[in-house]
Amino acid sequence: MRWLVSCGALALATLVAMPAAHAETTKSFQVSADIVKGCIVAVNAAGQWGKIDFGTVSGVAQGTVDADLLSGAVGGIQIDCTPNTTAYVTVDNGDHAAGGVRRLGLGATAFAIPYQLYADGSSTPWTSQSIAVSFPMGVSRKVLPVRGRATLTRPMAAGAYTDTVRVTLTW
């Protein structure tokens, strides 16, 4: 029995003589994110950037009709960009243009109503030139107002005149 007690005492002495294990209980790690410049455009319920509706007009009307681009409750193209970004907006001439003039077309017929677009309150027609929209620090949302002006000449055939204009946003 003496041998057992000696072995037990030796084992206990060895455990007591071992240095205490130190585990680190506090450590740190890095958290980061890279924010890149970017933009999005709000769309209406139809998934479009908006619509210009000149309304219902008599086939014997003459003169001009104006209408604003509307996208939901917003009058114009709503653009959201990262602050400190400049976005550039361009438009094409649409599906029915002739001789550089945008036109509302009546299906596959030759009937057409010429129209112009005006952006950001300008009195100069918006053709293919790029419009710069700046987003300074602290600003992430702007609305680019767009107005259409159709020139009515009589007589006009009855029907639904339409056109599709493609808008390009770059930054």
What is the CATH architecture assignment of 38-170?
Sandwich (2.60)
Top pLDDT among 46 and 136 is at 136
**Per-residue pLDDT tens digits for 112-160:** 999 999 999 999 999 989 999 999 999 999 999 999 999 998 889 999 9
Name residues whose C-beta falls within 8 Å of residue 164's C-beta, 6 or more positions apart in sequence: 94, 95
Comparing 8-22, 79-93, 121-135, the range with the smallest average pLDDT is 8-22
The structural domains of the chain, with segments of one domain joined by +, span: 38-170
- d(C-alpha 117, C-alpha 66), whole Å: 10
Paired tokens of 153: 């000449």
Paired tokens of 126: 């918006």
Flag whether pLDDT at 11 surpasses 60. Answer: no
- d(C-alpha 51, C-alpha 80), whole Å: 19
Query: Is residue 76 left, alpha or beta, with left meaning phi > 0 and alpha meaning psi from -120 to 50?
Result: left
pTM of the model: 0.79
